[in-house]
Amino acid sequence: MKKLLPLLLPALCALWVVSAWRTPSDKSDTIPANAFGRLPVIANGRVQPLDSLARNSLLQIREKQTASTGTSEGAARTLSASEWLLELFFQQDKADTRPVFRILHTEVKGLLGLPLDPDPAQGMDGKHFSWNNLAPKLPDLMQEARRAQSVKSELHTPYDRALLQLWNGVTLYRRLEAAAQPRDTDDWERELREFTAAVPAGRAAAKAQQEGKTLDPKETAALETLIHTLQHASDMQTLTPPLLVPPITPGIGPEGWQRTDESLFQVAKGEPVPSALRAYAAMGTAYRAGNGPAFSAAVETYRQELGPNLHKVLKKCANEQLFSNLEPFYKATVLYVLIGLCVMIFTLAPERFSVLRETAHRLTLFTLLLHTAGLIFRMVLEGRPPVTNLYSSAVFIGWGACGLGLLLERFWKNGIGLLASSSAGFLTLIIAHNLAQSGDTMEMMRAVLDTNFWLATHVVVVTLGYSATFVAGLLAVLYVVLGFFTSTLTKESAQSLSKMVYGIVCFAALFSFIGTVLGGIWADQSWGRFWGWDAKENGALMIVLWNAIFLHARWGGIARERGLMALALGGNIITAWSWFGVNMLGIGLHSYGFMSAAFSWLMLFVVTQLILMALALLPVRLWRSRLA
């Protein structure tokens, strides 16, 4: 067992990860939701598979990447994101019964006349509601949302925020609903066929009518068919659904994509009918009939038609679906927990469980590999350096911290580096997971930030500086927790922790300084000033200053071991502030909006660090570990 464990556990984990590395397939004879999910669409300004659109939309509406059928037709069943989107595209009356709107705020429920508690008789769990549940009170919701929108976002009450979140969800739902076909149509495929057939005659009739001629019944019928469908199109237009129709002519980029409604207007002008219109109409018919083979055939024909022009787009969409399915960061989170457990058991009795350290070491290597693979996959998909927004900064900070921890383990081999790796990796990925709740994490870069060179240099280096400062802080947390609350911190391990912190702070000072300076150079290149005292710049400067304080205090002998640990803990506060706090101020070039939910977490974090700092400074005789 002792020899097997360090081999077996990592191997099992690798198997678990690698087994998901394949294109998700569909069962024959059912509606192929995965094949549908691979089809391309432009939403949020970028080409993505429908699968991603479905997942990100559900995240915003339901705070999960899946939906549920609800209990209206017997036991509740989970719907994958693509299955849900299929229903929303092609069978809206059924989609409207799915409890996908997550509403927790009691006042919002009150506004909409929804039950506060679970109501099994009506099949309601008290948290999730369907479109049909909301529909009667929609005008009230709209009116309240308008009011909340007119209030400055800093002044929003929790009720306002819950309200606006729901309103965004409702808008999004309606936009998706209008993406492929109009809502109130019985047979869209037939309507589309009649519409396209009626275009030449209908156009002639419209012209004749303008010239004052009277129309015969046949002409009138053609004109009416045309107007009927265009009325549908203009209803869809008001909702601005995602762009589902790729350009017909080869060599046109993303700017050539259209919405279904735009495309219908083009067809009415005599333009050729894009294959997407026919394909989605055929899919809709097959879907409603529950005809899996016909659906697959429609998808396949559509892919064939897109193939020559949009080969790369299709490939990218398939890859992105694979990536979502692989969930590398979720799996890494689980593995970090496992590593943490192994190391903690090891530290209880290092002599007895030394095998666990070896196991954890190998697992960490594997997890770092997985984390790296996930980062690289994302970079390739986006065509960008690793950090482009707050979400990816969290993923990257975790990666950097995990790497630093492994480096420490290489020198000290006492499990502390592994503990730092796993806890930093776990915490940052949890933060990333929560940041991803806001929707698409691969959003397009605004013009100001649209430069790969500076994203690759300034952002990466400054983020590594954050990583290092956090690792130093984490080691200080270990020092204080182990030393104050337990008797396990020996004099030697205290010394080695102190050396580790010093080494990491040197690294942090170097990276945060160079990163900050590169940011200044970017600003000078883009806005004409090296330093503008912008909130995010100031945050980075504070990290540099704080690291300088640590180093000078150590060199000057002003602070000793525990004093330095308190300083390293302070580094945690400053880094967290600079990473998140400044975004919450809602000012400056770098502000990403007010994040109130995160604010209370940040405050909690700051308070815990302050308490640890206070403990670090208590006389050593109050500590349980004997360091004196």
Partner 1 sequence: MNARLWKFLTSLKVTVVLLLLSTLLVFLGTMAQVNEGLWEAQERWFKSYFVVRHAGDAWWVPPVFPGGYSLGFSLLFNLIAAHIHRFQWSSKKVGIHLTHAGIVLLLVGQLATDMLSRESFVSFEEGQTRDYSEAHRTVELVVLGEPQNGRERVVAFSEAALSRKQALLAPDFPFEMRVTEWGENGEVHSHATLLEIGTQMQTAIATMKSKYGTAEALPGEAERAKENGARSAIWAEALKAVGEKDPDIVAAAKRVAADPAREGILRKELQTRFSSQMLEAFSMRQPTMEKMQAAKYLGSQLAEDKFVPLDKLPAAAAQGAGQRMLLVPKPPAHGMDDRNFPYAKIEILEKGKSIGVWMLSPWIVPQEIQVGGQTFRIALRSERYGQPFSLTLLKTTHEVYPGTQIPKNFQSHIMLENKGKGEKREVDISMNNPLRYGGLTFYQHQMGRTEVSGGKGNSQLQVVRNPSWITPYLGCAIVSLGMVWQFLYHLVGFVTKPRPVKAKAPLQA
By CB under 8 A, residue 525 contacts partner 1 = yes
Report the alpha-carbon distance of residue 20 to residue 76 in Å, rounded: 26
Shortest distance (Å) from residue 447 CB to partner 1: 4
Which residues are bridge partners to 68 per DSSP? Answer: 78
User: Could you say which residues in the range 445-464 bind partner 1, by CB under 8 A?
Assistant: 446-448, 450-451, 454
Cβ nearer to partner 1, comparing 198 with 460: 460
Q: Which residue has the tokens 């009506």?
A: 122
Which one of 91-99, 388-396, 555-563, 612-620 is the stretch in contact with partner 1 (CB under 8 A)?
Answer: 555-563
Cβ nearer to partner 1, comparing 221 with 517: 517
Out of 2, 213, 218, 560, point to the residue binding partner 1 (CB under 8 A): 2
Shortest distance (Å) from residue 557 CB to partner 1: 8
Which one of 224-232, 327-335, 380-388, 540-548 is the stretch in contact with partner 1 (CB under 8 A)?
Answer: 540-548
Shortest distance (Å) from residue 535 CB to partner 1: 5
**End-to-end alpha carbon distance in the chain:** 40
Q: Strand 67-68 and strand 128-129: pairing?
A: unpaired
Cβ nearer to partner 1, comparing 75 with 447: 447
Report the alpha-carbon distance of residue 29 to residue 32 in Å, rounded: 8
Q: Which residues touch 534 (CB under 8 Å, ≥6 apart)?
A: 523, 588, 589, 590
Residues touching partner 1, count (CB under 8 A):
82
User: Could you say which residues in the range 285-324 bind partner 1, by CB under 8 A?
Assistant: none
Q: What are phi and psi of 42, to 5 degrees?
A: -105, 115
By CB under 8 A, residue 344 contacts partner 1 = no
User: Could you say which residues in the range 62-81 bind partner 1, by CB under 8 A?
Assistant: none
By CB under 8 A, residue 524 contacts partner 1 = yes
Interface characters, 390-429, with partner 1 (x: CB under 8 A)? ---------------------xxxxx--------------
Report the alpha-carbon distance of residue 594 to residue 591 in Å, rounded: 8
Shortest distance (Å) from residue 282 CB to partner 1: 24
Which one of 65-73, 220-228, 263-271, 581-589 is the stretch in contact with partner 1 (CB under 8 A)?
Answer: 581-589
**Tokens coding 414:** 């006492």
Cβ nearer to partner 1, comparing 294 with 548: 548
Cβ nearer to partner 1, comparing 42 with 95: 42
User: Could you say which residues in the range 10-49 bind partner 1, by CB under 8 A?
Assistant: 42-46
By CB under 8 A, residue 255 contacts partner 1 = yes
User: At 423, which helix (H) or strand (E)?
Assistant: helix 416-435
Out of 103, 314, 542, 612, point to the residue binding partner 1 (CB under 8 A): 542
Q: With beta carbons less than 8 A apart as the criterion, state whether 3 and 353 touch.
A: no
Report the alpha-carbon distance of residue 310 to residue 40 in Å, rounded: 9
C-alpha Rg value of the chain to the nearest Å: 29
Which residues are bridge partners to 67 per DSSP? Answer: 79
User: Could you say which residues in the range 211-250 bind partner 1, by CB under 8 A?
Assistant: 240, 242-243
Instruction: Identify which of 483, 609, 494, 490 has the alpha carbon closest to the alpha carbon of residue 546.
Output: 609
User: Could you say which residues in the range 115-144 bind partner 1, by CB under 8 A?
Assistant: 139-140, 142-143
At residue 357, the 3 state secondary structure works out as helix
By CB under 8 A, residue 155 contacts partner 1 = no
Instruction: Identify which of 114, 591, 395 has the alpha carbon closest to the alpha carbon of residue 385.
Output: 395
Report the alpha-carbon distance of residue 335 to residue 274 in Å, rounded: 47
By CB under 8 A, residue 506 contacts partner 1 = yes
Q: With beta carbons less than 8 A apart as the criterion, state whether 248 and 272 touch.
A: yes
Q: What are phi and psi of 184, to 5 degrees?
A: -100, 75
Residue type, 187: D
Which one of 306-314, 319-327, 522-530, 596-604 is the stretch in contact with partner 1 (CB under 8 A)?
Answer: 522-530
Cβ nearer to partner 1, comparing 256 with 292: 256
Cβ nearer to partner 1, comparing 379 with 517: 517
Q: With beta carbons less than 8 A apart as the criterion, state whether 109 and 103 touch.
A: yes
By CB under 8 A, residue 352 contacts partner 1 = no
Q: b/e for 409-442, b at 16 or more Cβ within 10 A?
A: beeeebbbbbbbbbbbbbbbbebbeebbebbbbb
Shortest distance (Å) from residue 566 CB to partner 1: 13
